[in-house]
Chains A and B, each alone.
Chain A
Amino acid sequence: MRRHLLEAADLDRADATLVLDTAAQIDAALAGREVKKLPTLRGRTVVNLFYEDSTRTRISFELAAKRLSADVINFSAKGSSVSKGESLKDTALTLEAMGSDAIVVRHSASGAPHRLAHWVRGSVVNAGDGTHEHPTQALLDAYTIRHRLGRLEGVRVAVVGDVLHSRVARSNVRLLHTLGAEVTLVAPPTLLPVGVGSWPAEVSYDLDAVLPKADVVMMLRVQAERMAASYFPSAREYSRRYGLDARRMAALGDDAIVMHPGPMNRGMEIAAEVADSVRSTIVEQVGNGVSVRMAVLYLLLGGAPS
């Protein structure tokens, strides 16, 4: 493993598989235990540096670090983002001086974790940067798929929704490709980036054509405010063309699963009966997130001396 986890491309197939295998071992080790805690990172300090609100991701990382017995500091820098307040560099140097071993960073600017990695000696974990990447989300998604379907090689994954603005989509395309899955992106053309043709993924505008062949349907959150910028005409039309409802779910193969990184817009990109169905892995993904983040922190920090 490299020192940082900044984007999915930092992981080759062996590294990515190691993270998933380590997460599985952690799950097995903690299964049935009353005290869900390992001593691995005792004495290490992990800082959650969040420039954007994301309660679920922060809590997931916090729990992961605590279950590895690390000391955890939550540094909420919301509002002090781009060109306001203390600079990212000064914050980085401050945290460095306080002896942080790893910084988990969420930032509204794409590439902020890359800049941070230039300025600190410890490890940097990208917990979501702008519209760039969210690599631990992709890892937990891959872990969930492998757990449910037993494999990743050759698995056909449809990623549906606002690909243009989605860091989840970017990380998943890269990581799933690395792990041998076949990704098809499904969205209206307005929500696909110019240049998507260079990605290792198929592209379709037609959800109904893709669903029968999909082993996994990953629904992305679509923000209603995209309407204001004319990415699509109305929530209703979006939902009709690209939402996953019970009728569409019926077109899926018997073993196909439905995923969502959350938070969901029920009734927009996903119908309630789909989100709550047996195919849905949405709650499972949350639990897997903790295990995968434990694996990432363990692999980045576990071997190195403090």
Chain B
Amino acid sequence: MTVLIRGARPYGEDAADILLRDGHVAAVGGSLSAPDAEVVDAAGLVALPGLVDLHTHLREPGREDAETVETGSRAAALGGYTAVHAMANTDPVADTAGVVEQVWRLGQQAGLVDVVPVGAVTVGLRGERLAELGAMADSAARVRVFSDDGMCVADPALMRRALEYVKALDGVVAQHAEEPRLTTGAQMHEGDRSARLGLTGWPAAAEEAIIARDVLLAGHVGARLHVCHVSTAGSVEILRWAKSRGVQVTAEVTPHHLLLTDECAEGYDPVFKVNPPLRTDADVAAVRRGLAEGVIDAVATDHAPHAVEDKESEWAGARPGMLGLEQALSVVVATMVETGLLDWRGVADRMSVRPAAIGRLETHGRPLAPGEPATLLLLDPAARAVVDPAALASRSRNSPYAGRELPGRVVHTFLRGVPTVTDGKATR
């Protein structure tokens, strides 16, 4: 298959034609011609390498009523993603080679993005003993990222062992940083609003204490650590310090922590309940700055689909989490590009290049250059649309952006030269 993309702006820079042939970029330049090619008019569209999500909940196996690998893959492709890391907190938990291979195969069948399973660090996410990390790494799923996401590996000795053990697998432990003794019953960010709303507070210190502990451990044993969904200004400071000391630590921030604050909890609509919780304006400013500086390496969605009945309840009874795949790039455009904090190369770096490197995905996050995989997206940065949850490809509707106007529309996505999204519609 040969595709000639006419007049796109790679990384938002000067317009060029991009020729895709046999799954690779054949040429990039002015006025290319290829008589056999299907032509895509991309005038005004920004071309970026396909996005890589380090943090996606696809819910299959176990909660296929909320999302499946297929529906989540479609949502991802529509968001400009070409690879997603599927979190391990499924039912059964992805803590064996069998489960991770099942998820990987479902991803292959769906064929819209590369579904890269994350393996659980501990058996059943229980935080008691290590799962068979080596078996998952050696499986067809080639697991490199291990996480008990949703649960913190709270036991410091176990965390140390996990960090050490995955060194042999070229793996990384992705930590959900939450000291459980400080967050018993926690419902929202602990501060002025939680005091007034009478919702049990989730203190910033509960996140920062674990990150501080873990960077010390990672430095001590010389292992790679990845910090999931960083949400506080203090966490950014600790990461900055750790990186300055040479600790091999990387970190991600979610789109919702870049945009929304605990003000959303007013009214008690659980669509805004998430873990870690939405924080303050000062925290939002700090994580944006951290992402701009590269202290935070990546944007990761923490896409967390939930069935209606798990969200349509009193706040305390609702499950935490919100959708993200289909709006992530738009939120980054709104919070980072339109504010001047990141240019398009910066967006490519934080949403594709670095997450691919953290996940050890050799064929993602590559430059838009001849010989590289034809894995890319085309974005209309000028388009603006109001988010309608009913129009989402995800099986769930718990979008915190409902009714909000956001910039940017993914028009085309290609995975190894094959279109997965054409004119804003998934191809399968």
Contacts and interface: CB of A to CB of B under 8 A. Distances in A.
Given A110-B198, A115-B268, A194-B201, A82 B192 contact: no
Contact of B312 (A87, A112, A114, A132): A87
B190 interface: yes
Given A87-B309, A115-B268, A194-B201, A110 B316 contact: yes
B315 interface: yes
B314 A107 contact: yes
Nearest to A81: B317
A29 to B, nearest CB: 35
Interface string A2-30: 00000000000000000000000000000
B33 interface: no
B386 interface: no
Contact of B315 (A89, A110, A197): A110
Contacts of A88: 313-314, 317
Contacts of A195: 190-196, 201
A194 B191 contact: yes
A129 B198 contact: yes
A261 to B, nearest CB: 16
Contacts of A130: 198-199, 316
Contacts of B61: none
Contacts, number: 84
Of A82, A87, A195, A197, the most chain B CB neighbours within 10 A belong to A195
B268 A194 contact: no
A89 B317 CA distance: 12
B267 interface: yes
A302 interface: no
Interface string A174-215: 000000000000000000011111110000000000000000
Contacts of B315: 109-112, 115
Interface string A151-192: 000000000000000010010000000000000000000000
Interface residues of B, number: 24
B195 A199 contact: yes
A52 interface: no
A114 B268 CA distance: 7
A133 interface: yes
A280 interface: no
B43 interface: no
A109 B315 CA distance: 7
B203 interface: yes
Contacts of A193: 194-195, 201
Nearest to B267: A114
B195 to A, nearest CB: 3
B197 interface: yes
A108 B200 CA distance: 12
A169 B247 CA distance: 47
A198 B312 contact: no
Interface in B289-333: 309, 312-317
Interface residues of A, number: 28
A109 B317 contact: yes
A131 interface: yes
Contacts of B198: 110-111, 129-133, 167, 170
Contact of B316 (A82, A114, A199): A82
A176 to B, nearest CB: 15
B315 to A, nearest CB: 5
B232 to A, nearest CB: 14
Specify which of A109, A112, A170, A199 lies most central, judged by the most chain B CB atoms within 10 Å of its CB.
Answer: A109
Contacts of A115: 268-269, 313-315
B334 to A, nearest CB: 28
B358 to A, nearest CB: 34
B314 A196 contact: no
A48 to B, nearest CB: 18
Given A193-B195, A195-B193, A198-B195, A87 B203 contact: no
Contacts of A108: 316
Contacts of B314: 82, 88, 107, 109, 111-112, 115
Contacts of B200: 131
B77 to A, nearest CB: 33
Interface in B184-239: 187, 190-201, 203
**Candidate in A81, A114, A115, A131 with the most chain B CB atoms within 10 angstroms:** A115
A167 B197 CA distance: 10
A83 interface: yes
A118 to B, nearest CB: 8
Nearest to A164: B195
Contact of A82 (B195, B268, B309, B317): B317
B265 to A, nearest CB: 9
Contacts of A170: 196, 198
A198 B331 CA distance: 31
Nearest to B201: A194
Contacts of B187: 110
15 contacts: A83-B317, A87-B309, A88-B317, A110-B198, A110-B268, A111-B199, A112-B268, A115-B313, A115-B314, A133-B198, A194-B191, A194-B201, A195-B195, A195-B196, A198-B195
Interface of A: 81-83, 87-89, 107-112, 114-115, 129-133, 167, 170, 193-199
State the 7 A-B residue pairs at the shortest beta-carbon distance, nearest first.
A111-B268, A132-B198, A195-B195, A193-B195, A109-B314, A110-B198, A82-B317
